[in-house]
Amino acid sequence: MGLPAAIIFTGFYFVPFIANLRYSLTRWDRITEPEFVGFRNFVNLLTNDDLFYKVLGNNLRFTFLVVLFQTLFSLIFAIFLVKNTRTNIALRTLFFFPTILSSVSVGMIWLFMYDPNFGAINLFFTRLGLEGFALNWLGSESSALYAITFTQVWFHTGQMMVIYIAGLQQIPQELYEAAEMDGASRWQQFRNVTWPMSIPTTIVVMAYTTIQSFRAFDLIFAMTQGGPNNSSNIFAVLIYQTVFSELRIGYAATQSIFFIIVLVFVTLLQRKFLNSRYEK
């Protein structure tokens, strides 16, 4: 019974993982034979690669903001749209709609929206007389990552909202009725019923959003390719550039090992935090 799964796991996960470990100890350009360099790539990455730390910082910042806002907005939307009325169903469809678009299409749409000279966003601010808010969104190091964060949140909030709605609909109605009989306000109902009962869903949403934000390759590649000056670069894009543009396969394998370590660390941290809340 477990054999097909074991074969798939071995062939598609375990073997590539071991191969990646092997490549991380080499210098290889896909043209000449790999040259064994021991742990030189690891030492270089940790001691002589400012870009690695910059990308690590970008990735953590991007993940933190995306997880925070995507979870928050999807929970708020879910609370407002949890009842199965016609209007709510229509609004859910509307909020979910961006999710069905391809990432590259979303990237291209927002690329036009953010255009500093022709884009709808700056046009909007300019018309309102708020020229100070009309920024060089994707062309400036200080705003590019945040502009992409906003797009990522817009893109996936609807999807997380649907997961939350499914979770919220499982909360027994009697709990709200009892809370109401005790004279609990809306806020108290949320704090003492909705939030504790939705923590298992939140764990799923946050874990999924975290992984999603680490993998936001296509969106970033379509919008800035990690620029300007790597200010919007994240691990997935950096590894791609190291492999395909720079042909440094061994070094990219080392980067990917650190990528996995960071991802596992962040996910464990989240789980620990949320589990402790759940147990309380």
Partner 1 sequence: MKQKVNAKAFKALIAMAFAISATVVPLSQSFAAGESLGKSCTTEGLMTGTKSTSLICVKGGNDKLTWQRVKLASGSGRPVANLTPPKGEIEFWHYRVELGDQRALVKIISDFEAKYPGTKIKQVVRDTTTYNNTARVAILANPKAALFATSRGAIFDQFAKSDMMLDLSGQRYVKQNVVAKGLTAGQFEGKQLGIPYQYLFNNPIVNTDIWAKEKWTTPKNLTGWVNWCKDAKAKGYVPLAWPGATRGQAAQISNSALMNSAGSYNELANNLADLNSGKIDLTSKWFEGVADIYVKLRNAGCFPDNATGVTEAAAYNLFATGKSPILPIGTFAMGSIVGLNPNLNGKMELMSMVLTDGKVVAEGIMNNTYTLSVNKNSNSRDQKIANAFLSYLLTGKVAEIYANETLQHVNVLDVEYKNVNLLNTVSFQAKNTMLAPRFLLLNAAVSDLTQDALIQIVGGKSPDVVLPDFSKQIKQKLAG
What is the CA 166 to chain-centroid distance, rounded?
21
Using rule CB under 8 A, residue 34 touches partner 1: no
* Sole binder of partner 1 in the list 10, 126, 170, 229 (CB under 8 A): 229
Closest distance to partner 1 from the beta carbon of 139 (Å)? 3
Site stretch for partner 1 (CB under 8 A), options 68-76, 85-93, 180-188, 225-233: 225-233
Give phi and psi for 199, each to the nearest 5: -60, -45
Whichever of 63 and 122 has its CB closer to partner 1, that residue is 122
Using rule CB under 8 A, residue 35 touches partner 1: no
Residues 49-108 close enough to bind partner 1 by CB under 8 A: 49-51
Cα–Cα distance measured from residue 218 to residue 110, given in angstroms and rounded to the nearest whole number: 13
* Sole binder of partner 1 in the list 20, 44, 88, 267 (CB under 8 A): 44
Closest distance to partner 1 from the beta carbon of 276 (Å)? 40
Count, residues near partner 1 per rule CB under 8 A? 33
Q: For partner 1, what does the binding mask look like between residues 115 and 144, x meaning CB under 8 A?
A: xxxx-----------------xxxxx----
What is the CA 187 to chain-centroid distance, rounded?
29
* Sole binder of partner 1 in the list 19, 21, 211, 247 (CB under 8 A): 247
Residues that bind partner 1 (CB under 8 A): 30-32, 41, 44-45, 48-51, 111-112, 114-118, 136-140, 224-225, 227-229, 244-248, 251
